[in-house]
Amino acid sequence: MERARHRFGRPARHRVRDRAVALLTWVLIAAGLGAIGGIVARAEPAAAARQAFPVARTHVDLLDASRTTPPRGSHGTLPYRYLPTDLYLPDAPGAFPLVVFAAGFNIRTDAYAPMLQEWASAGYVVAAPQFPISGQPGDGPARRDDQVNEPGDISFVISRMQDATGSPGTVVTGRIDAGRVGVAGHSDGGTDAAAIALNDHLIDRRVDAALILSADPPNFPGTAYGPINSAPVLVMSGTSDSIAPLAGSDAIYDNALAPKAQVRLQGGGHLEPFVSDARLTGAAWAVQIDFLDATLRGDPTGRSRLAVDGDIPGVTTVREVGLQPNPIGSLDSVSADPLGRVTASGWTLDPDTAEPITIHVYLDDAFMGAFPASAARPDVGGAYPDLGPDHGFAVTLPRQLTGEHRVCVFGLNVGNGDADVQFGCQVVSVVTNPIGSLDRVTVDPLLHTTAHGWALDPDTTAPITVHTYVDGQRVAVSTADATRPDVGAAFAGLGPTHGFAISLPTLAHGAHVVCSYGINVGSGTANALLGSCSSVFVDHDPFGTIDQVTVGVGGTLRVAGWALDPDATGAIAVHGYVDGVRQAVATTSVSRPDVGAAFPGGGTLHGFDVTMPAPADGQHTVCFYGINTAAGSTNPLLGRCAVVTVSHVPFGSLDAVTGGGGTYLVSGWAIDPDTTTPVDVHVYVDGAKRAAGSASSARPDVGAAFPLYGAAHGYGLNVGALGAGEHVACAYGINTAAGHNELLGCRWFTVP
């Protein structure tokens, strides 16, 4: 990190501090190297300054009556858990942090006495319980099947020690700082300690530090572990441990959230580095105490000492993040949009504050600016609930880029801690190929096909070239230079002249796929498909419509409409059908300037006006079809079929019966659809025929209503004198040609 910060030419205030840190680090390393050859345990100046306490050892018997013990040896299930516990007490006034230590499988707790003694000497009350089933000594062979209960044993010991220090008359009354609790363990006991720190079901949130030695991950049945919010962890193991191989420790470290540290003891075995291997114990104990000091005492030198004690050539190597209250964070992604705008996203926080901190962003060693990391990141808030969620950032750099670039982000320290932290660098490859869209492809009825869209290259404000392909064949090379204000607004700085509406050659009848490509300029790797390809159907068949169907005198059908074929410049054939039977073959020989104006280029001969023979009485369906010319696949229906009703039966009205005294006149009108000439009307009174005559007098109103038939359709027939009383008169139209006589109407009247 320090090297990177120098190389990156950070602002002056960073460089000054870097130099100070580098100098301090050098002094510490020198002191550490000096200690390797000797047998002195501690290796750094801060340790020399700290008091080493005499240690008092004692023993307490703890009993958890709330839980049971499975059978072992000669005893059956016990209704309690018995936990004989060794205590190592700093023999000095005052209260000290508590560390509960869990022994490994099938080993006496006093096998760890040299290490536990060191911890107590450094100012920690150490409680080492003996587990009832896995521990030694015990009744019968030790077993591992009770391990899932051991984290509970550890939590119980913590509770009893906290109770005891607050109670009068115990061996630890007033001796424990009950608010500062660590757990530690070796081998299976280390797995127990990891479960206390990292396991979702077994986590004990009273714990402020976990020291996990030579252990496998806590994959207990029915539970899951890490990464969850946990106490800081220190994971240690020998690199030559054949019982709990190094990979287990690596996995625990990798799955833990910061703050966390891992120290590997070079060439160390399973147990020896912590109790008997003189080459390693000094450094191992020093690292452990550094970690406990940093986490349980808040000693600001703890992490610095751990960095030294954990990095002794040939003895220790260290990984660590977050132990010092410097910023931590993650550069989650560095991405470029199609315009070459680079965005760096992630989160960072300083353990000293819930407030957002500032990040510095560097691009290829150049300072790009300071930005707040203040965006909501609920996932970060969930992992660090004390510090809240407002630690995210998504910074878009002010320059448009091309090519490969390296982006690095620093979190600026606030409060405690000694350095700003570069928590991420990523290389981003910025590709500025053209972008755009083939918005749509239109085909008008006369087969003019046009590709509409826009295209631009982020490297230029100038219009770029667009190649358009139909069914894989290039058919147009054009320039996207039409004004598109929407594109100009969406891509500020690149101008609006990026639209296109490209006329394509006339395409054959049928479906086609149209694709347009923007041609790259400047940097970039390829010409780019603009949006997606578009499917079009080009229809060479005729089209048109029926405008009007008129039923003529005698029931003839006159049909007018228009039709044209996009392949024809003049008239085309049309066929007319009545009730599915072809009754007309015609051409569009009628001039229709309106149609010619709507579909220019093919003249005006698009109309037809056809009269077809009269069908029988009743409803009939009339359909016309345009007959295809040249390309095309069918003779399509023109518009929709029409439905008409034809009648051959006379119709009319008996309007009035008038008169008095000796004579009465019955009047009305009548038409036979088969003729314009007057028809005969017969009048009956009270069922007896009384008059007959032609409906031939002028009735302008009837003429206006039925213009095909003229106005000469009125009648007024004298039925003579009638006797006093009620009478009924009825008039009948007498049929001409097809049809039959038909009642026109009846009327009741009274003769006084």
Site residues for Ca ion per CB under 5 A: 325, 350, 352, 413, 415-417, 432, 457, 459, 520, 522, 524, 540, 565, 567, 628-630, 632, 648, 672, 674, 735-737, 739
The rounded distance, in Å, linking the Cα atoms of 251 and 216 is: 8
Q: How far is the CB of 50 from Ca ion (least distance, A)?
A: 23
Provide the token pair at 381: 């808030």
- Closest approach of Ca ion to the CB of residue 246, in Å: 32
| Residue closer to Ca ion (CB basis): 402 or 653 | 402
Q: Using the minimum distance from each CB to Ca ion, give the nearer residue, 66 or 569.
A: 569
Q: CA angle 74-80-85, nearest 5°?
A: 90
By C-beta, is 102 or 551 nearer to Ca ion?
Answer: 551
Q: Which residues pair with 397 in a beta bridge?
A: none
Residue 285: Cβ within 10 Å count? 23
Written in H, E and C, the secondary structure of 363-374 is ECCEEEEEEEEC
**Dihedral of alpha carbons 591, 592, 596, 597, sign:** positive
Detail the DSSP E strand segments found in 16-175.
Answer: 55-64, 81-90, 96-102, 125-129
Q: Closer to Ca ion at the Cβ: 524 or 714?
A: 524
Nearest residue to 686 via CA among 743, 746, 733: 746
Closest CA to 126 of 292, 281, 342: 292
- Rounded Cα distance between 279 and 181, Å, is 30
Question: Are the beta carbons of 182 and 207 closer than 8 angstroms?
Answer: yes
Reference 146, options 199, 198, 189; nearest CA is 189
Rounded Cα distance, 621 and 642, in Å: 6
d(CA 397, CA 361): 9
| Nearest residue (CB) to Ca ion, 110 versus 355 | 355
Q: What distance, in Å, lies between the first and last C-alpha atoms of the chain? A: 129
Between residues 236 and 357, which has the closer beta carbon with respect to Ca ion? 357
Complex with Ca ion: residue 187 or 736, whichever CB lies closer = 736
Q: Which residues contact 282 (CB under 8 A, 6 or more apart)?
A: 35, 39, 40, 41, 42, 43
Q: Of the two residues 273 and 602, which places its CB atom closer to Ca ion in the complex?
A: 602
What distance in Å separates the CA atoms of residue 16 and residue 7, rounded to the nearest whole number? Answer: 14
User: From the CB of 22, what's the least distance to Ca ion, in Å?
Assistant: 19
* CA 560 from centroid of its chain's CA atoms: 57
Residues in contact with 254: Cβ distance below 8 Å, sequence separation at least 6, in sequence order: none
Identify each DSSP E strand in 627-735 by its residue range: 642-646, 651-660, 663-671, 679-685, 688-695, 697-698, 712-720, 725-733
Give the H or E element holding residue 25.
Answer: helix 12-36
Q: Report, in Å, the least distance between residue 411 CB and Ca ion.
A: 9
Q: To the nearest whole angstrom, how small is the minimum distance from the Cβ of residue 445 to Ca ion? A: 11
Q: Which residues contact 490 (CB under 8 A, 6 or more apart)?
A: none
Residue 191's Cβ-side half-sphere holds a number of Cα atoms within 13 Å equal to 20
| Half-sphere CA count of 144, side-chain side, radius 13 A | 8
Give the angle 660-664-666 at the CA atoms, nearest 5°. 135
Which residue number, 188 or 457, has a Cβ lying nearer to Ca ion? 457
Cβ nearer to Ca ion, comparing 632 with 652: 632
From CA 567, how far away is CA 521, in angstroms rounded? 41
Nearest distance from C-beta of residue 554 to Ca ion, angstroms: 9
- Distance from C-alpha of 424 to C-alpha of 356, rounded to nearest angstrom: 18
- Determine contact, residues 218/198, Cβ cutoff 8 Å: yes
Beta carbon of residue 423, minimum distance to Ca ion (angstroms, whole number): 13
CB closer to Ca ion out of 195 and 414: 414
Residue 205: CB minimum distance to Ca ion, A: 23
Residue closer to Ca ion, measured from CB, 543 or 749: 543
Q: Compare residues 376 and 630 and give the one whose CB is closer to Ca ion.
A: 630
To Ca ion, the closest distance from the beta carbon of 679 in angstroms equals 8
Q: What are phi and psi of 633, to 5 degrees?
A: -125, -15
165 vs 520 by CB, closer to Ca ion: 520
> Least distance from C-beta 483 to Ca ion, angstroms?
22
Report, in Å, the least distance between residue 326 CB and Ca ion.
6
Nearer to Ca ion, 159 or 635 (CB): 635
CB 268 within 8 Å of CB 280: yes
Q: Do 370 and 341 form a contact (C-beta atoms < 8 A)?
A: no
Minimal CA–CA distance to 129: which of 209, 65, 62, 206? 62
Q: How far apart are CA 401 and CA 693, in angstroms?
A: 102
CB closer to Ca ion, 218 vs 518: 518
